């Protein structure tokens, strides 16, 4: 049994493998929050994220037979969602012009550590929403999913150096965003 699977989840997976609509519904509702959270990191617009989620579940129901309980189910599911989000991004990027973003400011940004530790998931999603698409993609893939720059370059059709640059700029921009959105920890949490 997969290490992260509860007996209930295993039951859901087995039910989906049999093609039972009831189990599919339960599966969908059970994993909806997990997949939506991943999708929102890549596509902050709710509608786009919903589309990624639904497409991901389509793939999951179609390929659930291929899942072997050797790896964690959530890892398998996460990979599907991320790949679907990348597909959507690639589809979207075809119709949008790539713009060269502004150079990062060279000055150091000082952010209170307590501010960082108090950032909630919603705050982080809001911050990510303010990142340019390419920065957000590279940041998510590198820092959260653990992809290498070579892999990211391959996935996003970038050069490896661009991927590195985008990551640095994404981090700097995030820090600036944290600073500008939450300038004073005390004001925010104790007022």
Return residues touching another protein (CB under 8 A): 25, 28-29, 32-34, 36-37, 40-41, 50, 53-54, 57-58, 108-111, 113, 116-117, 119-121, 124-125, 143-144, 171-172, 174-175, 178
CB of 111 to another protein, least distance (A): 5
Q: Which of 83, 177, 168, 57 is nearest to 125 (CA)?
A: 177
CB of 97 to another protein, least distance (A): 28
Nearer to another protein, 97 or 114 (CB): 114
Give the whole-angstrom CA distance, residue 118 versus residue 71.
33
Nearer to another protein, 99 or 110 (CB): 110
| Neighbouring C-beta atoms of residue 148, cutoff 10 Å | 12
Nearer to another protein, 98 or 116 (CB): 116
Nearer to another protein, 35 or 134 (CB): 35
CB of 174 to another protein, least distance (A): 6
CB of 117 to another protein, least distance (A): 6
Buried b (16+ CB within 10 A) or exposed e, 2-14: beebeeebeebbe
**Alpha helices by DSSP H, 43-132:** 46-63, 73-94, 113-117, 121-129
Residue 178 CA, chain-centre distance (Å), reads 19
């Amino acid at each position: 049994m997969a290490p992260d699977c509860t007996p209930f989840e295993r039951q859901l997976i087995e039910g989906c493998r049999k093609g039972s609509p009831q189990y599919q519904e339960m599966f969908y509702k059970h994993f909806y929050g997990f997949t939506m959270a991943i999708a929102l990191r890549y596509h902050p617009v709710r509608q786009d994220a919903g589309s990624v989620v639904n497409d991901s579940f389509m793939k999951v129901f179609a390929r659930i037979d291929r899942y072997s309980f050797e790896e964690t189910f959530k890892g398998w599911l996460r990979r599907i969602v991320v790949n679907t989000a990348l597909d959507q991004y690639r589809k979207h990027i075809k119709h949008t012009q790539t713009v060269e973003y502004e150079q990062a400011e060279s000055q150091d940004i000082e952010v209170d550590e307590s501010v960082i530790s108090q950032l909630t998931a919603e705050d982080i999603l809001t911050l990510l929403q303010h990142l340019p698409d390419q920065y957000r993609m590279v940041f998510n893939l590198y820092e959260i999913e653990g992809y290498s720059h070579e892999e990211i370059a391959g996935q996003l059709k970038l050069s490896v150096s661009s991927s590195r640059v985008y990551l640095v700029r994404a981090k700097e921009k995030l820090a600036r965003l944290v600073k500008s959105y939450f300038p004073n920890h005390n004001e925010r949490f104790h007022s």
